[in-house]
Structure 1
Amino acid sequence: MKLRANGIGIQVDVQGPAHGTPLLLVMGLGMQLIGWPQALVDGLVSRGFRVIRLDNRDAGLSDGFDHLGVPNLGWAATRHMLRLPIDAPYTLADMAQDAWAVLDALEVADAHVCGASMGGMIAQHMALQQPQRMKSLTLMMTSSGARHLPRPAWPVQRAMMAKPPPRRDRATLVARAEAIFRLIGSPAYPATEEALRARVTASIDRAYRPAGVARQMAAVLADGDRSRRLRDIRQPVHLIHGRADPLLPSAAALDLKLKLREATLDLVDGMGHDLPDELLPRFADGIATNAARA
């Protein structure tokens, strides 16, 4: 269903009993709500949660911001390296306000929140914006934005910055997406060719919005270092990160662990920057255990 939230249309999926404990899942850069595997949602529902997934603005079936144009990511990345301000079309804080507005529209007073990658950055802003409404926070394969952290592996940077093919060239789109997922995926838990192809084609057929990805990337670059503000987060925090993550190396998780009081950390051997099927029960257990600390 599509809700009106923060003045824009946000696509939302809600599963689980109406009396279940609300849990909001926030996905990463360019990803859609279907990026959260159904098996993970089922596992969370079985643990008593009412699971809420959303398409972030400019992704999936939520409203886009094409009227704001496409940012020059090369120029934005250069300014980021020089620690100069970046004029992004919108901010991660705006996207966090979208998420709170979704919960308002659903009449959810408070909730547990889990964010992955860019979604984890958005979730950090959520915790700072309305701390009284966030019961617990799980951060998956994400970062504080600290400047000293290692950058993504060069092949990943090159793939992420490459110009996307046009939508009409579906075969190239699918092949490129598969190559990127293989590049950032978990070496110890590789997806089968059939499973990866099904996941990629489902995403492309549902929505293909490269300009939205560019605007979201600009928002990430503009957000900078959240380290000092993270000291104000008081909710129970659980960190999940792969030791083999080539996009956000595991040093990012160790950095977050130092900056978030009482945070627990699950550093997973052989895990990259994805959600392998074999690890979904482990993720669900971690989210539920952290929620029980609230």
Structure 2
Amino acid sequence: MTVRYAANKDVQIAYEVLGDPATGVPLLLIMGLDYQMVWWPDEFCEQLVAAGFAVVRFDNRDTGLSTHFAKGDSYTGNDMVDDALAVLDAVGWSDANVFGGSLGAAIGQALALLHPERVRSLVSVMGTPVTAGTLRTLRYVRFGTVAKLARLPKAATREQEIDNLVTVYRTVASPGYPFPEDWARHVATLSHDRHPRDPGTTVRQNAASRRFTVPALSTLTRPTVVIAGADDPLVRPVAGRDTARQIPGATFVSYPGMGHNLPEELWPDIIERTRAVAR
């Protein structure tokens, strides 16, 4: 796939298009904290295209092939919303269905709140309410998992960096489904070779996740599905339930055995729900 670039002022956002953006139903995928767009599985994207969507995925600022920031720099969640708008503009879409995971779920919610004319529908996955505030958001997080990730050994070689990426994914993955070992190692390698992970990105994006300026979720008017993993090791599923409760007419889905990733076994149902809300 060809990597293209959208510009938000002096920030360049790398993105890819799967399917025909002129004829497919527009679907924008927004990735989570410190993950590159390649962590959206190619086969998942291809199945979305087969279901009639044109899919666009992108590297959030500070990740992958997009503009990276230096120590001491900062940005807000609203800046990341503007990045998503820049991608829509670059593709030539006046609006799109939005599918966001983890931090991407918050960005998707904010996009629908701030620019409802650009959002046809919203699928918010593995996320917390964008309006929760710092203290409430902390109550949604499982800090045992955060502490486990913080104890990862500092990598000194390329192989150790890749091992750490696989370990992170394994730690948050779905306990009720087989771990995709070969795929995770392949994508960890690809991710590292595109751009090695910068620990500063985690700090800056965590800070950005607490810096959204948006109206109340009760004002969100787009058709919405909220998906949570009932066994998410990182974010408590009540976060998704609280998100859906605040959005008028939203549907809440909690999958047993699902963690903080999208198990291949659930793709058919997730894709069908995405098609349904897009309709």
- TM-superposed CA distance for 1:151, in Å, is 3.9
Of 8, 17, 20, which aligns to 1:14? 17
Equivalent-residue separation in structure 2 for 1:214 and 1:160 (angstroms): 14
2:172 match:
184
Give distance in 2, aligned partners of 1:162 and 1:9.
33
Aligned partner of 2:125: which letter?
Answer: M
Q: What SS class does the counterpart of residue 231 from structure 1 fall into?
A: helix
- The 1-side partners of 2:112 and 2:181 are apart by 38
User: In the TM superposition, what are the counterparts of 1:1-294 in structure 2 within 5 Å?
Assistant: 1-7=3-9, 8-17=11-20, 18-66=22-70, 69-70=71-72, 89-145=74-130, 146=132, 147-148=135-136, 150-161=139-150, 165=154, 168-210=156-198, 211-223=200-212, 229-292=216-279
* Matched AA of 2:68: G
Deviations 1:8-39 (A, max 9, x none): 21111001123111110000001111111111
Q: Which residue of 2 aligns with 1:79?
A: none
**C-alpha separation between the residues in 2 aligned to 1:217 and 1:5?**
23
Q: Secondary structure at the match of 2:216?
A: helix
Distance (whole Å) between structure 1 residues aligned to residue 152 and residue 211 of structure 2: 21
Q: Which amino acid aligns with 1:230?
A: L
Alpha-carbon distance in 1 for matches of 2:60, 2:166: 22
- Structure 1: gaps of 5 or more residues: 72-88
Instruction: Provide the C-alpha distance between the structure 2 equivalents of 1:119 and 1:280, rounded to a whole number of angstroms.
Output: 18
Alignment CA distance shift 1:100-1:144 (3 Å): same
The CA deviation at 1:195 is 2.8
SS of residue paired to 1:173: helix
Task: Compute the TM-score of the two structures, normalised by the length of structure 1.
Answer: 0.86
Any conservation in 2 of the 1:58–1:213 contact (CA below 8 Å)? no
TM-score (norm 2): 0.90
How has the CA–CA distance of structure 1 residues 92 and 148 changed in structure 2, closer, same or farther, with 3 Å as cutoff? closer
Structure 1 distance, partners of 2:72, 2:40, is 27
What is the rounded CA distance, in whole Å, between the counterparts of 1:175 and 1:70 in structure 2?
28
Q: Is the 8 A contact 1:40 1:281 kept in 2?
A: no
Q: Where do 5+ consecutive residues of structure 2 fail to align?
A: none
**Shift of the alpha carbon at 1:179?**
2.0
1:172 positional shift: 2.1
